[in-house]
Chain A
Amino acid sequence: MEFYEVINKRRSIRQFVDREIPREVLERILDAGLKAPSSNHQRRWELVTLTDKNIIMELAKFIRPYPCRIGEPKTPQQEMFKIAYPRQRTMMEEAACVILPYFKQKYPLSEDKNGYGLMDYGAAWALVENMLLAATAEGLGSVVHIPVKKEPEQIKDFLKVPDGWALPALVVLGYAVKDPLLPTQVKATVENKVHWNKW
């Protein structure tokens, strides 16, 4: 698929049909992720890739849907909350693949005085975005879930991940249902977000 078409097509998809993703497709997506820039040139990433439905269902048990009391959404953001919050677990259960891109965390974000911690974290997000785009190019739907509260520890224990590795996001992949729910986008264009030469 043409590059800009991929950029324009990518949306967060949270409803999937029950259909497996061929191994070669997943390998192309993972490979695209591993081509992302890496702050220390080392690409110290380990991608735990779940395709076994039983393991995905076990993992989904740790994911808590966010409470959502929105009746009639009044803003695009509320539309997103209404679609996304109740689906945090179901989107995982419906997924054909969940990728957990762990990165070696040298500098903890919590006591990051020099800003170095952001480098590993930022690079991990370049890896995530490459995979979201590659999934789009392959005709797949994708979404991320950020592990919050107890989720990072529980997931780490469940998957027996060694210490020193951090998880920026869970990358959730699958073939989208026909007409998945999509919130209206908030306007973000060159006209309303860019300052040429000075703010």
Chain B
Amino acid sequence: MEFHEVIEKRRTSREWTDKEVDFEAIKRRIAAGMKAPSWDHCRGWQLIVLHEREEKERAFAYAKAAATA
């Protein structure tokens, strides 16, 4: 997509369908993130990507418990 079109199109989304996302596309997005500037030149980052439903449930269990308490 053309750069300025991307800038115009980006909006925050908070509701989703349960349609599976294209895994290769996710990888391209993450690779793009890895090109961002980094103050010490080292890009000292590690990303945890929650993809499986089970893993998401596990990661958000605490948040859910807090929200329903």
Contact = CB atoms under 8 A, between A and B. Distances in A.
Interface of A: 1-4, 6-8, 10, 12, 28, 32, 35, 37, 76-77, 80-81, 129-130, 132-134, 137, 144, 146, 183, 186, 188-190, 193-199
B34 interface: yes
Given A3-B6, A8-B35, A186-B41, A196 B46 contact: no
Q: Name the residue among A10, A81, A130, A189 with the largest chain B CB count within 10 angstroms.
A: A189
A2 B3 contact: yes
A188 B45 contact: yes
Nearest to A9: B35
Contacts, number: 87
Given A4-B28, A8-B35, A189-B34, A194 B49 contact: yes
Contacts of B12: 37
A133 B3 contact: yes
